[in-house]
Amino acid sequence: MTDPNTISPLDLETPERPYLDSNELIINMGPQHPATHGVLRVILKLDGEKVLGTECVIGYLHRGVEKIAENRTYTMFNPYVDRMDYVAAVSNGLGYCQAVEKLLAVEAPPRANYMRVILTELNRIASHQLWLGTHALDIGAMTPLFYTFRDREEILKIFEKYCGARLTTHAFRIGGLQYETYAGFEKDVKNFVDFVKPKIDEYEELLTGNRIWIERTKNVGVISARDAIALGVTGPVLRASGVKWDIRRAQPYANYADFDFEIPIGENGDTYDRYIVRMIEMRQSLRIIEQAVAGIPEGPIMAKVPKVIKPAVGEIYHSIEAPKGELGYFIVSDGSTQPYRVRVRPPSFVNLQALDIMVRGMLVADVVAVIGTLDIVLGEVDR
């Protein structure tokens, strides 16, 4: 294992072994490639099929979200965050709203918090389902993709019924929620939980015990806990390396402290462990949703927030456990209606950095598997 601190940038000019370069290839994987989940370009230096090193070229989807934030009011910027990690838009919104709430020193009412937890956990399941489908497809199993998309549809239906949007939901407002739940929301969510439980078993049946799946994922893309921490890797990737750390538990936000759930961890930090961790996380999310739906209180859904949001001069960092890892917002206020600076700490961006040491010495097919298992969304990497 290469030491992540001293890993050298990829030298594309000179071959590693100048006189035996018979099969040293440099391949551009992407930006148009079926397995890079968007417009990621990975420059691979190969010895035959063995990966000598990689370099990620990103930014194809850069839209300048942080710059936009400086030119919008706090409220106006809220929908933009949905466009970063567009498969987990609800989590993005939660992080941003809570960060601004912290800056304003207001607290969302309990009913809003319960709703927020239900929706973010639903979103976590949706994100993991999308990850599972595409990851399995990368490894060559076509069928799980369609199963997961079929079941993810049910979550999107709930979102649509609640706020009218399916993907970029803009579900939360600063201070709470805009909409009260629709009639039958609790029933829909309960039905969904009952519906999806056997479906998760079905995914596992297709993959977990499959010999080829195990061979393709065990000991592939291993990252030790030490390296993972050094590289700032978070989320399921970090937990699969054996670090029991989840912001929902370590520094609870919303009202996660009220719920009983477990944090799954892996042992080897390989692709298989990450797969298992995410599968268990889906089940734990269902547990949280069940508890939240059962305990949802009546009451207001919006805290007292001034019409014009003008936080005092100061700065705040708030982070939540997004499906992909630690999603942080660092907001600097200069006392005006527009944030002076919004910095987004994107989990995908930081996790992608680990790709290089995870695939060195592996084969081309493993690069694809590892990109899949990192669960990156290019909208978030490039912002």
Buried/exposed 103-124: b ≥16 CB within 10 Å, e otherwise: bbebebbbbbbbbbbbbbbbbb
Tokens 């039958």 sit on residue: 184
Q: Is 364 in the site for another protein (CB under 8 A)?
A: yes
Minimum distance of another protein from residue 33's CB (angstroms): 6
Q: Helix, strand or coil for residue 325?
A: strand
Contact between 152 and 130 under an 8 Å Cβ cutoff? The reply is yes
Among positions 190-209, residues that touch another protein (CB under 8 A) are: 206-207
Q: Is 105 in the site for another protein (CB under 8 A)?
A: yes
Among positions 215-274, residues that touch another protein (CB under 8 A) are: 215-216, 227, 229-233, 243, 245, 250-251
- Strand order in 41-47's β-sheet? 24-29, 41-47, 50-57
Q: Helix, strand or coil for residue 77?
A: helix
Q: Is 6 in the site for another protein (CB under 8 A)?
A: yes
Residue 247 and residue 309: Cα distance in Å, rounded?
Answer: 27
- Stretch of residues binding another protein (CB under 8 A), selected from 58-66, 79-87, 264-272, 279-287: 58-66
- Cβ distance to another protein smaller for residue 141 or 302: 141
Of the candidate residues 326, 348, 358, 375, the single one contacting another protein (CB under 8 A): 326
Strands of 30-70, DSSP E: 41-47, 50-57
- Cβ distance to another protein smaller for residue 180 or 205: 205
- Cβ distance to another protein smaller for residue 49 or 262: 49
Among positions 330-349, residues that touch another protein (CB under 8 A) are: 330, 332, 340-341, 343, 345, 349
Q: Which of these, 55, 4, 56, lies nearest to 230 by C-alpha position? A: 4
- Cβ distance to another protein smaller for residue 162 or 349: 349
Residue 190 and residue 183: Cα distance in Å, rounded?
Answer: 13
Of the candidate residues 41, 102, 199, 287, the single one contacting another protein (CB under 8 A): 102
Residue 255 and residue 58: Cα distance in Å, rounded?
Answer: 36
Minimum distance of another protein from residue 332's CB (angstroms): 5
Q: Helix, strand or coil for residue 40?
A: coil
Alpha helices in the chain (DSSP H): 65-70, 74-82, 89-104, 110-139, 143-163, 185-207, 211-217, 225-230, 236-240, 247-250, 271-295, 347-352, 355-359, 364-374, 378-382
- Cβ distance to another protein smaller for residue 293 or 327: 327
Minimum distance of another protein from residue 262's CB (angstroms): 18
Minimum distance of another protein from residue 245's CB (angstroms): 6
Minimum distance of another protein from residue 277's CB (angstroms): 18
- Cβ distance to another protein smaller for residue 314 or 335: 314
Query: Half-sphere exposure of residue 188, counting CA atoms within 13 Å on the CB side?
Result: 17
110-139 and 364-374 helices, crossing angle to 10°: 170
Of the candidate residues 169, 181, 319, 348, the single one contacting another protein (CB under 8 A): 319
- Stretch of residues binding another protein (CB under 8 A), selected from 88-96, 124-132, 256-264, 358-366: 358-366
Q: Is 34 in the site for another protein (CB under 8 A)?
A: yes
Interface pattern 131-160 for another protein (x via CB under 8 A): -----xxxxxxxx-xxx--x----------
